[in-house]
Structure 1
């Protein structure tokens, strides 16, 4: 049994907890979203054959999008006093495409490289678990005669509200709760009570009430009582039972327990859910197959390190840049995103951008392994000489030099050999604006570090450079 000496950070005070929560929300901002969800939503929005169902499904693939849109749709700006919005389909119809697009552009993502350096993997794990639970609910209601089954999917996601509040805004306290509960979901409420003076259910309940969520949703954010009364499929009590069941089932799937244990769990709850055991099991099997494939795929990527997958890393950088441009980011900030993406995607030693300055090209920004004092020495004349830098600039050509030592002496300029003697291979990507070359991106590898760039990888880098230049065209 895990023992943990605990003194509550909040002196067992609910008021203290919510005061600190408000402060941390102001500091960290709203929940982050998963980049793949934002990308899917943007694709649906720009699809000429889009429909509300497709957009709703894209939104339902992410907790952050779901809670933001449900919360906004039920605010005084949109909803009438006698009407509650409990589904994303209804919310999309009420808010309109422009509002949905604005939300998609302004929500920040957690699994981009910049965010991944600061956010705990536990946040991503809990967000993914919320989606897995909602997928379980969606699969079950689709195989049952449940009226307005989308409510169950929304409620299942928001059933994770208290947990996600803690894991994102109170990571240290969440870690202690996990230690004290021993990873047992059934003991998390009592562990939270000891650590922060409130149960997870109390946190969920208070936040749902503060957000003025519809009663059918707010009533499902806490765990159902064993004695909960259910009036029938789709009723408020049934939705709450389904949300709790789906969350616990998701936790079991993540733990990869045996099929028999899953069946036993289903048998224990099928009567209360008013759905035959066989129907629930078929639903879980389809989800389990998807989860198994995803897990296998993740293991392969993890072995190689997901950020070492060049084209995937560049794709994430492109998405990050796209969202930032939608927010009106300035060129320098966009350039920082691009340089970091280029550096990380191909594991370059360093990336430097040279800008035209009078009669010279001077190093302006860099990312990676470079002594800042060397920046002043990194410049070359605009006057044409027959070297690879001027060739790239005048021809507006993207260049890859695979081995500096094998290149003709006149091809590699003297200033380069003196200032960057450890560079063994490099690429050049000229920056062209209004048909004029304003600079060039340089990225290199040291000896022993060099790798061959595949054509599709190089094309992805070129695409990133081209996207960067859009920041100058706004």
Structure 2
């Protein structure tokens, strides 16, 4: 029950970004089309035709040398489906949709780009391993390989704050599965398995995503083969992208993997090593390895980014600017809240939104036990001599360094003292609408147990810029969306 509750909460937060539900619907539509026995393939044809790049990819594959025996010059998706088969095209669509989604939603953070490229590289390894065999099985193996890492990608892309906590534990040599479980209560693999279920991926793919055990005699041969490819490809991509590893050590690690998986893959270990090492030197795979090398060369920027709150908030401002003004308000609010929460390392962050009733109500929040507290966090716009009403009458952010000072305690509303009694210091950031009235208020705090912090002039300037950027989304939000917040 605890695991289910955590996963539901994760899905809710990911859905707030706006693009995640579209990916889910696209994958479910593809799987439904694949499972349809209608011989005109109309469902899957429509899925492919709805995406120009995907259409070209399918047609190029159908016209490749491998399928010239079928007549060549294939110009329709329907004919391509007949040549390639429903399963092969369906799996190709799923793989490309997943990759395309993360390409378009990739944050500006270097670590997120590295994780995406590591996943893409593992897909390149899987495709290399299967390119001479059955296309259907090969594309299925690529999907399994991508899906094996989907849990980690979802956390990196959608749960910035939690990923920062997980990454800090990993940097102290804690196993990443243990670190994820400690922070989220579930592992990356469990999140990936849940994604596969919610996207209604076939049982074979769900099974193929699992951990490879060379001594397993209970699973079907096809499952063991898929797991061998999935695990080998993932492990090789990890070795190839490990920073500061000498070439001799890299090749030695890959040789160890080749010996372990060679029999299950029915491939000579020396051939596996040659193929895998060659990927590090090739410029194919849409430049995946080249980009990884470039990102790795700038790896110190990751550390600077993690330690520089002002830079992280400024990056969040750029992400907001990249969104169209008519984007879902909830997506903009989530992005701004997560940026501030992660950038300043707040213990708790709460976004208050003004309703037509004249109430500021907590819309979303981050931090321990925050969801249970949200219903009790609200205040009326009618003036009260407290710091919250001072903030909504202000045009810039306010930093309260000592919330325990008796003079400040007198300025804290009762509902706040009841909910956040352990607050050490906090920030209130007003968001102004087009008529210069306050439409939202972003709150973030550090608790008594946290190290004492101050807000620098540069950080406050970056926060005010973020608030100004966030304000434009309110002028385009429909009234019903405002009332639902």
- Tell me the TM-score normalized by structure 2: 0.45
Between structures 1 and 2, the one with greater helix share: 2
Which has the larger Rg?
A: 1
